[in-house]
Amino acid sequence: MNFLANKSIESLNNPEYKFLISLKKNRNRKSSKKSISEGFRECYKLLYSDYEIDTLYYCNELFIGENNSDLIDECEQQHIRIVKVSEKVFRAMSYRDRPDGFMTVFNTKYLGLPNKINGPILIPDQIEKPGNLGTMIRTAKSFGINNIFLSDEITDIFNPNVIRASIGHIFNMNICSGSNNQIINFLNSNS
C-alpha cells in the first residue's frame, strides 16, 4: 500500500461523519444528489461504472480480503479523494453488521424514460422493501437483463440496502423510472 489518505475521521462529532449519516435518509440523498455504497465488491463495481465517486472511505482494521489495497490504489490513480476512518467511526456509519472497511460517496443519476431501448426490460412495480428491489436487480442481471424500469417508484433506487442486495449490479444497468402510464405508453410506442 503506497497510498496516503487525504484526511482522516476519528470522531463522531466530525461534520463529514454527520453528512455521511444524513445520507441514510432518502430526502438527504435526493437533495444532495449523493448516496453511499458500502462493501468492497459494491465499491469496486461502482469504480468501473459511469457513476462519479466523490470519496472513498476506508478502515484497514476491518479489511477481510487480500485485494483491499488494490481498490485504494485504483481510486488514487483515478484521483478520487480518499479518507481513512477509525474503526469506531466506521462501525457507527456502516449499514452492515459486519462491515469490511469500504464505503464510497457517489453522485446519483435519476433518469426518466429513454426514447428507445434494446433488450429485455424488468419492470418492478411499487416495490417497497429495498432488499427486495436489490434482489430483483441482481436476479435480472443473472438472466442478462440490463434494463430496469421502476414503475411508480416507492423505494429510492440509491438506498444503500438496494445497492447491497444488488451486489453492486445497479451500477452497470440502465435504470429509469416513470409512472405506470408513462411506462405503458413507452412500451406501446416501442413495440
In this prediction, residues 28-41 reach a mean pLDDT of 95
Convert the pLDDT of each residue in 127-171 to its tens digit: 999 999 999 999 999 999 999 999 998 999 999 999 999 999 999
Residue 37 sits in the same domain as residue 75: yes
Residue 100 sits in the same domain as residue 23: yes
In this prediction, residues 17-30 reach a mean pLDDT of 95
pTM (2 decimals)?
0.90
| Confidence tier at 1 by pLDDT (50, 70, 90) | very low
Packing angle of the helix pair 40-47, 68-77 (nearest 10 deg): 30
**What's the longest Cα–Cα distance across the chain?**
56
Q: Which three cell numbers stand for residue 8?
A: 482522516
Does some domain include residue 67?
yes
Does some domain include residue 24?
yes
C-alpha–C-alpha distance, residues 74 and 72, integer Å: 5
Convert the pLDDT of each residue in 36-85 to its tens digit: 999 999 999 999 999 999 999 999 999 987 778 899 999 999 999 999 99
Grid look-up 476519528 returns 10
Convert the pLDDT of each residue in 95-133 to its tens digit: 999 999 999 999 998 788 888 888 999 999 999 999 999
Q: Which three cell numbers stand for residue 162?
A: 438496494
Residue 29 sits in the same domain as residue 101: yes
What b/e sequence results for 125-138 when a residue is b if at least 16 CB atoms lie within 10 Å of its CB, and e otherwise?
A: eebeebeebbbbbe
Range of the domain at 162: 121-189
Give the count of beta carbons closer than 10 Å to the beta carbon of residue 107. 12
Residue 13 sits in the same domain as residue 77: yes
180 within 8 A of 152, measured Cβ to Cβ: yes
Strand ranges, E, within the chain: 7-9, 34-38, 53-58, 81-85, 102-107, 121-122, 147-151, 174-178
> Residue 54 sits in a domain of what CATH number?
3.30.1330.30
| Confidence tier at 4 by pLDDT (50, 70, 90) | very low
